[in-house]
Structure 1
Amino acid sequence: MYWSALYFIYYAAMAALSPYLPVYYRQLGLGGEQIGILTATIPLINLLSGPLWGWLADSYQQQKRVLVLSMLTVGVLGALLILPRSFIGLVVILVPLALFLSPLVPIMDSSVLQALGERREHYGRIRLWGAVGWGVCAPLAGRLAEQVGLQGLFVLFGVMMGVSSLLATRLSVRSTLVRPAGLEALSRFWADPRWRAFLFTAFTGGVLISVISNFLFLFLQDLGASQTLLGLNLTVATVSEVSILFVSSALLKRWHPQRLLMVGLILFSLRSLLYSFMTQPWMAMPIQLMHGVTYALMWVAGVSYAGVLAPPGLNATAQGLFSSAIMGVGMVVGSLVGGFLLARVGAIWMFRLVSGLGLLGAFILWRVRNHYDQDL
């Protein structure tokens, strides 16, 4: 009960912040390349700070304290985003914000899995409430932005993160992050061609996620979308995500995760390409229904496939590598490349050019399957 509520509030808070940051950057007069750098800041810091948080959590066994204090700090820093009006000022706040944001989801996810024990298959049903929180808050956040401005969303984010921190004090929290594997352990992954292909395809998926999540709203604004319509687009995407999460166990029982990952990547490419043909902002709504069979399907398939490929005793490291490839390196590169393309060729060709990445990732997985996993 408490975990479901925490997921709901946390992701509701994130729905009031992360999708609207690029819109706010443009409102301040920043260009495409500067927006790309700023959107890359959070995943880049997450990638670099993850091992540090893991070492601290494991060494001092203060996971609950890290979770609670990080939520409070993130809430304060998020609210302070109303103050800076320059690129440098935003960087000064975003760097510590990203630093304290990085341990939150890993600590929550791992603690839930450990609490479930042998009933880990129920994780998706608990995680669902995070998607519900996002979907419920998204249109309300859009409406609030129209009434009081984007700065009001940052204050709302701070309040909800404060509520999350209070709720977290009532939970049994355990460490989520593992210490970084040694070079010998990492070499075991790199020596397997299937892992090299898998990490590259996860990276391509991360680039697509980053480009769509960071720059779609800017394109919709150029087409005349209101803040309320932007929020409704998030809600539509959430509905499809919840649906896939709900049936993910059945999908994985019927099809191998490698095949599901290939399907997700191909559909991601199609989704990106379809955005480039929009001429009216409402046209994004049906395309957003593909969010479940792209992002959600790719994520659950990737987590499962990482578990299949993991060497004995290195499953946690395997999950960390997958997460770093998709949400770390992929997101950083997607933010920088997307910002560059937006400034140089515009949003239409940005979506068209990056659409080929999913096809490339799916092709590489198919080649590996033919050589090493023909029985899948």
Structure 2
Amino acid sequence: MTTWQKITNTLYQDGIDGDKSSKKVQTLKSSFYPSWKINRYLLLSKAVYFIYSFAVGGLKPFLPIYFKQLGINAKHLGILMGCRPLAEAFSIMIFSMIADRLQCHKTILITALCMGGLLTFAFNFIPIPSFYCPPDNITSDIILNTTFTSEAFQASPMYTVENPYTLTNGSYNEGYYFRRYGSIIVDNPYFTYDHYDLQESFICILVIIIICEMIAAPSLTLVDTYTLYQLEDKKVEYGRQRCWAAIGIGAGELMSGLILVHSIMTIEICGKIYVMGHNYNIAFSLYLILMSIAAVIALRFQFSESDNPSSSQINRHGDDRNTTDNTDHDDEIYHEDSNGIETKKLIRHYYHQYKNRLQNINKDFSESELDDDSDDAVFSYSTDSNDEMGMLAKLKDKRSTSPNQYSNVWQLFTSLRYGSTLCISLCLGTAMGILTSFMYWHLQSLGGSTLLFGCIGVTIHIVEAISFFLAQNAIYYLTHVGVMGLCIFLTAVVCMSLAFLQILWLAVPLGILIGMITALFFASATSYFSQAAQKHSISSAQGIFQAVYCGIGCSIGSVVGGIVITYHGARNLFFVAGAFYTIIFMLFILLQLLIHLSERGTLTDIRKKKGTNDPPKSYFRRVKATRSRTY
């Protein structure tokens, strides 16, 4: 028995008053354990976030250039890049539900990391298509006296249609004649790719991308699940852990860029030496090594109490001290401190007091209402004490645990509050798809340079890391709903600014806003859904959210944005997008007001039944988040 357990047992055996003992225990605990400690379990998630994102940032941004180097044209490249989010969306939803159902999170995570690294490394073995070398001094025949239709030459780059003369042939009063251009500019006059080899390369790349994304997509979602499980009731601190992913992406992209600049690949074609581009062997090898390291670290993950052998047998205090903990779980509550050491706090009278209070609440709220609504309905009856918040959260987890996890997740996302938030996630996902796919396109059409693009990219990654770290403070002062509303407003501002942009370097401040939107919305939505979901359904909830936001939303944004740009131009695309997100922002405010009024009336009716005239507490009032930091 540790020193802290001896002190705790002594206090309760002496029969000290409950309130005084609780304060005395907290005082002694703060003296034995400093408030700033490194949680070794969260340190593992930070390491996996950084290493995984370093690998992704060092390779994925350069894959379109690599595919272009293999001879893939723009049309096929769009298909390859567009199928990735859809494959990720379905994979995340399926594997997250399987992980929750079978409780095999660690197995799926390690398999996803290893197979994702191996399948991505397989891109390195795709052969360069063979080349066709046309012979010199080609003699061609010209067919005269042939009737042509103008439609056949409207899209041809070799002919132009004019009508300045009247033909002398008696059978025609007037008509067209075709003039051949004196010279035609081609990409490379010496060689061309073989058409059949290009088709084989495209199909091979498409198959590898689909299989790779289907298997590797759940990796980051399961790491999020592990992080949220370790945070317990401090899920607002999720952004402080996820910021290491943004740091890893920026560092990996910078490192790979510096390496690829000095790696040149040459090839002999038609008897001449050509520079084909950069040698990506180093990038693929580095990706495989980093994914293997992340898989090794993930072996230490503990997704449930059964993964921790030290916590499987814990003695109870009092008369039943020699019995195991599986006899009665309702008389003890375990608390894992910031140092990762599990200590036992036996506070029977507090526990029964909260249990009776929760039973009274259940008389007024139906079981479905408590599952659909957030924790505010329960927390509104408690004080701002961190201990009570933790006790009620644990009691609710025990009360709402159900064998059928999927029906509860379905009830969560079909409720008005969380269903509307999921729709907002879809809208913000389309915005991210438009910005990531067509912002540089638009700036390049305005004359932007690669230096400008590099500055914008670095700015976005730096701001993402800072925003993830400060997301907890933003949620504390603005609440989850307020942060998401702010992100919608900033998205409308960014799109409108791009539509009327004249000075190109003003796009760098817009990169700051894009980084804030990406980090704050993802952190707030992740903690928002995870707090509402059951403890063993967090992975399913996160899988559905990320599939809608990162998968379906980004795909819709890319496809619709490409269609609008083709027919109406990039400026009109961003103008329409800005107007659309402005309308979404106003609808979001109206919807939150309606939810607030409906729940305010519900709480008023409940208080009347209880015979109290106290004014109902606002829906937007949140229990104060604990000020202790978890690093």
Which TM class, normalised by the smaller chain length?
Answer: 0.7 to 0.9
Q: RCO (CA 8 Å, sep 6+): is it higher in 1 or 2?
A: 1
Report if the CA contact (8 A) 2:91-2:214 is conserved: yes
Report if the CA contact (8 A) 2:67-2:77 is conserved: yes
Cα distance in 1 for partners of 2:534, 2:111 equals 35
Sort the Cα spacing of 1:55 and 1:301 in 2 relative to 1 into closer, same or farther, 3 A: closer
Deviation for aligned residue 1:184: 7.3
Cα distance in 1 for partners of 2:458, 2:48 equals 19
Partner of 2:432: 209
Runs of 5+ consecutive residues of structure 1 not aligned to the other structure: none
Q: Are positions 1:256 and 2:485 aligned together?
A: no
Partner of 2:24: none
- In terms of mean alpha carbon deviation, does 121-130 or 205-214 score higher? 121-130
Partner of 1:165: 292
Deviation for aligned residue 1:17: 3.2
Partner of 1:141: 256
Partner of 2:413: 189
Report if the CA contact (8 A) 2:222-2:539 is conserved: no
Runs of 5+ consecutive residues of structure 2 not aligned to the other structure: 1-42, 128-197, 265-276, 305-402, 598-617, 621-631
Partner of 2:394: none
Partner of 1:95: 210
1:16 is matched with which residue: 43, 58, 62? 58
Cα distance in 1 for partners of 2:64, 2:438 equals 7
Sort the Cα spacing of 1:221 and 1:146 in 2 relative to 1 into closer, same or farther, 3 A: farther
**Match of 1:38, as an amino acid?**
L
Cα distance in 2 for partners of 1:290, 1:67 equals 32
Q: Aligned residues: percent identity?
A: 22
Report if the CA contact (8 A) 1:241-1:293 is conserved: yes
**What SS does the corresponding residue of 2:301 show, helix, strand or coil?**
coil
Partner of 1:198: 421
Q: Are positions 1:343 and 2:386 aligned together?
A: no
Number of corresponding residues: 371
Q: Which structure would you say has the larger Rg?
A: 2
| TM-score relative to the length of structure 2 | 0.52
**What SS does the corresponding residue of 1:17 show, helix, strand or coil?**
helix
1:365 is matched with which residue: 571, 588, 613? 588
| TM-score relative to the length of structure 1 | 0.83
Deviation for aligned residue 1:7: 1.6
Q: Are positions 1:45 and 2:87 aligned together?
A: yes
- In terms of mean alpha carbon deviation, does 268-277 or 250-259 score higher? 268-277
Cα distance in 1 for partners of 2:258, 2:544 equals 38
Cα distance in 2 for partners of 1:194, 1:63 equals 28
2:73 is matched with which residue: 13, 27, 30? 30
Higher share in strand = 2
**What SS does the corresponding residue of 1:355 show, helix, strand or coil?**
helix
Sort the Cα spacing of 1:35 and 1:360 in 2 relative to 1 into closer, same or farther, 3 A: farther
Cα distance in 1 for partners of 2:235, 2:409 equals 26
**Match of 2:73, as an amino acid?**
L
- In terms of mean alpha carbon deviation, does 192-201 or 15-24 score higher? 15-24
Sort the Cα spacing of 1:55 and 1:369 in 2 relative to 1 into closer, same or farther, 3 A: closer
- In terms of mean alpha carbon deviation, does 347-356 or 52-61 score higher? 52-61
Report if the CA contact (8 A) 2:236-2:527 is conserved: no
- In terms of mean alpha carbon deviation, does 304-313 or 94-103 score higher? 304-313
Deviation by residue 1:186-212 (Cα, 9 ceiling, x = unmatched): 25632x333332222111100011121
Sort the Cα spacing of 1:318 and 1:10 in 2 relative to 1 into closer, same or farther, 3 A: closer
Cα distance in 1 for partners of 2:224, 2:535 equals 22
Cα distance in 2 for partners of 1:237, 1:18 equals 16
What root-mean-square deviation, in Å, do the aligned CA atoms of Structure 1 and Structure 2 show?
3.4
Deviation for aligned residue 1:166: 2.5
Higher share in helix = 1
Sort the Cα spacing of 1:356 and 1:96 in 2 relative to 1 into closer, same or farther, 3 A: farther
Sort the Cα spacing of 1:253 and 1:45 in 2 relative to 1 into closer, same or farther, 3 A: same
Report if the CA contact (8 A) 1:144-1:153 is conserved: no
